[in-house]
Homo-oligomer: A and B are copies of this chain.
Amino acid sequence: MTETLGIVGGGQLGRMLALAAARLDVRVVVLDPTPNAPAAQVSNEQIVAAYDDVSALADLASRCDAITYEFENVPAAGLEALESGGKLRPGRAALAVSQDRLTEKNFFVSVGLDPAPFRQADSHADIVAAASELHQGRSDGEVIVKTRRLGYDGKGQARVTVDQLESPTAQDTEDLHEYLGGVPLVVEKLVPFDYEISVIGARGLDGSVALYDPARNTHEDGILATSTAPSGADGDVVVQARQATTDLLHGLDYVGVMGVEFFVNPDGSLVVNEFAPRVHNSGHWTEAACLCSQFEQHVRAVTGRPLGNPRRHSNAEMRNLLGDPLPTATDMTSQGDWMVHLYGKGEARPGRKMGHATRLTGPA
């Protein structure tokens, strides 16, 4: 019954997937360009190769019964090799949608969800026009300008007012298109939401769906700082968020775990922000507070196993541990009331995710 799972990407998410796979007696082969990557340290094998090395990816596919990935920016060149054997889960549609913010937002609309109002923008003039249009000319209206591809943790984006964009003296916004790399962009209207929640959802090979309770997220410097479950959201908000996640899972004919971020408006309506076609930082609390973590759930789904029970036995608070230094990790360890999870990254750099810690705050 032992089988082999390939994971493209050997960082912390791959590592946590590999640890979960071990408990299910699933062998793991990691593909990552860095020898002894965090995931490879706890896996059966590593293929040391670039993510666009087509022959290495084909080698991975030939050795494995199923292939997944820990990050959504798998180069298109490599995808062909992985997809051809029918072993790639989640499949190419989910990757294509998540790799491009414009495609993603259009997809949200197509399945009946509400993203923040947005416009495509391929030049500075486009940005100015979009911002003005989204705010109907109100000069203090704010927008977030984002690159369509390769953004994460607040990178590849800028927040400006219509006023700033239109003033010729505002040096730093004079050519925002150029500042963001001259690449295709999307302009979003800033939504004055109350708070952010996220739902970790899973869909099995058989189409069954399992959803974890929403968590409430806080960020610092654009990076997730804490996730807390339960989220404190009203029951109606929870129902909407669960339904939206279910719609996305079915709409993409998805197999695996996804994380979906929502903004909750003061009136209780939801704005869908983005989804990630993988296990998600805001779901790390499931490892401590659920019998089946998001990592085990993803392994179950992509290897064709029945989904696990996503029930939360305890309430939980997860905090990211960013380096350098890690002032809190030792304290948390010594307090003993936190489950500390460190990622085996050799070098701590400011803002680098070095680990996370979860404490239980009571029975669910």
Contact = CB atoms under 8 A, between A and B. Distances in A.
Interface string A340-361: 1111101000000001001110
Contact of A22 (B15, B24, B307, B308): B15
A43 to B, nearest CB: 8
A291 to B, nearest CB: 5
A313 B363 contact: yes
Interface string A185-216: 00000000000000000000000000000000
Interface string A81-93: 0000000000000
Contacts of A43: 42
A341 B293 CA distance: 13
Contact of A305 (B326, B333, B346, B358): B333
A336 B314 contact: no
A338 B306 CA distance: 12
B342 A25 contact: yes
A362 to B, nearest CB: 9
Contacts of A1: 326
A86 B352 CA distance: 36
Contacts of A314: 313-314, 363
Interface in A309-327: 309, 313-314, 326
A27 interface: yes
Interface in A11-50: 15, 18-19, 22-25, 27, 41-44
A326 B2 CA distance: 13
A208 to B, nearest CB: 10
B23 A342 contact: yes
Interface of A: 1-2, 15, 18-19, 22-25, 27, 41-44, 288, 291-292, 300, 305-309, 313-314, 326, 333-334, 336-344, 346, 355, 358-360, 363-364
Given A291-B359, A305-B333, A306-B336, 17 more contacts: A2-B344, A2-B346, A19-B23, A22-B41, A22-B344, A23-B342, A25-B355, A291-B337, A291-B338, A291-B339, A291-B358, A292-B336, A305-B334, A313-B313, A313-B314, A314-B314, A363-B363
